[in-house]
Each structure stands twice: as C-alpha cells, then as structure tokens.
Amino acid sequence: QQPVQSPQAVILREGEDAVINCSSSKALYSVHWYRQKHGEAPVFLMILLKGGEQMRHEKISASFNEKKQQSSLYLTASQLSYSGTYFCGTEMMKTSYDKVIFGPGTSLSVIP
Amino acid sequence: DARVTQTPRHKVTEMGQEVTMRCQPILGHNTVFWYRQTMMQGLELLAYFRNRAPLDDSGMPKDRFSAEMPDATLATLKIQPSEPRDSAVYFCASGLVVGQGRGYTFGSGTRLTVV
C-alpha cells in the first residue's frame, strides 16, 4: 500500500529541471507532496485531489493522473534551496478517514 | 506562523525504560498523526486521531506502544518497555480534513536513542 517513488536520487546543476514520480497500485483520493531538508521536519508543498487541478508552489508544480494512479512533481529551473528529500503521501479512495501513507522519498541535490 | 510543538527534542534512554513523547497540535486542527522515521523504513504511520478519537493504530506495535489524546491540546506516544530497535525520529503532524485541500504541519520531531 506504500506508494512507489522514482527516481530514488537525482543530482542537478542549478537551473536544470527534474521530474519526480509517485505511483500507487490502489485507487487514490489525494496525493500530497512534502520536502524534507536534512535534520528538519517534512514541509508541505501541495496537495492534489481527485478531480482537481494541477497545483503549483513557486517554480514547483505537480499533476495527478487519476486513471493511472500516478502523480508527478516538476521542478523547473532548480535552485540550491530545492535540495532535500521529496516525499509523496497518498490517501486511498475513499476511506472514511484521511490516512496518508508516504513513499520512500526521492533525494534531490542541486549543485552550483 | 502556527507550529506543532513536540517535546522532548532529544531523548536517550536505556533499554527497558518507559519513554513518553508529547505533541501540542496547532490550535483548531482536528487531525493528529504520529509517524516514525528511520533510514530503513522511511516515514511510517503509527497512529492517528480525528477529533481526539483514535482512528487507526495498526502501524503501532501494540504490546509496547500506546497513543492517546487526553485533550485537544495534547497528544502522547508512549513506549514501555523501550528497545534499541525503537531508536528513530518520531514526528507528530496536525491538520484539518484533507479534502479541504490542505496538507499537514509537522512538528520538529523527537529523536529517540535507546541504548
């Protein structure tokens, strides 16, 4: 039931773009995206709901393909501050409560 | 900005001792989660509450872990007796119903080391 994330790790030069994918074998109601910097707590970036629109946080955007149970996070013109581990969290369709299960994370390193 | 407050930030204890971690969710948030993070397992959901009622604690080892919300301003996670394999960072997160388009706010975590 844990979502799958790919890639596991990626290294970018400042200004390059990246895509992080999240997929589930179960029908999804929502997908969350969080970023965690080393030694800190995860920080909420955005949430995509079934039937909702693509979301955006600064130069980071995300989409949700309900038919494929997949979400993608797009990092455009990456900045050094984008470095960290990105987690997707999924909520299954539809339980009576909002239980968010996180994927294993994607480590992103942006270098000058 | 509103914060989720967790105490203690760090805890070192001997195997067999009782450990209690505390969380003060953001005022007005009705959902509280406890997650455990390790390098091997990532972020594991241990338990969560809605309006102080426990909804799911299937991720928690029942024989030694317990989670409670004695009031709306306090959630506790207790381990008794603690074991070295419990060493991890324990996060509390709070929020409102996901369907309203909002995510969760995490506390700074409690780093537990059991020796």
Q: Give B83→chain A minimum CA distance, Å.
A: 23
pLDDT by residue for chain A (112 residues), tens only, comes to 899 999 999 999 999 999 999 999 988 888 999 999 999 999 999 999 877 677 777 789 999 998 899 999 999 999 999 999 999 999 886 665 578 899 999 999 999 9
For residue A30, give every residue at least 6 positions away whose Cβ sits within 8 Å of its Cβ, in sequence order, or none.
A47, A48, A49, A50, A90, A91, A98, B98, B99
B108 in contact with chain A, both atoms CB, cutoff 8 A: yes
Structure tokens, A100: 């968010």
Contact of A55 with A40, CB cutoff 8 Å: no
Q: Give B45→chain A minimum CA distance, Å.
A: 7
Q: Tell me which residue of A1, A9, A30 sits closest to A105, measured CA to CA.
A: A9
pLDDT at site A84: 97
Contact of A77 with A61, CB cutoff 8 Å: no
Q: Give A101→chain B minimum CA distance, Å.
A: 7
d(CA B51, CA B75): 11
Q: Mean pLDDT of all residues in chain B?
A: 93
Cβ within 8 Å, pair B42-A105: yes
Q: Identify all chain B residues contacting A30, using CB atoms and an 8 Å cutoff.
A: 98-99
C-alpha distances out from residue A58 to A82, B55, B70, Å: 11, 34, 39
Q: Tell me which residue of B88, B67, B63, B66 sits closest to B13, measured CA to CA.
A: B88
Residue of A35, A100, A102 to mutate, testing the B interface (most B Cβ within 10 Å of its Cβ): A100
Q: What is the pLDDT of residues B39-91, one digit of tens each?
A: 988 999 999 999 999 988 888 988 999 999 999 999 999 999 999 999 999 99
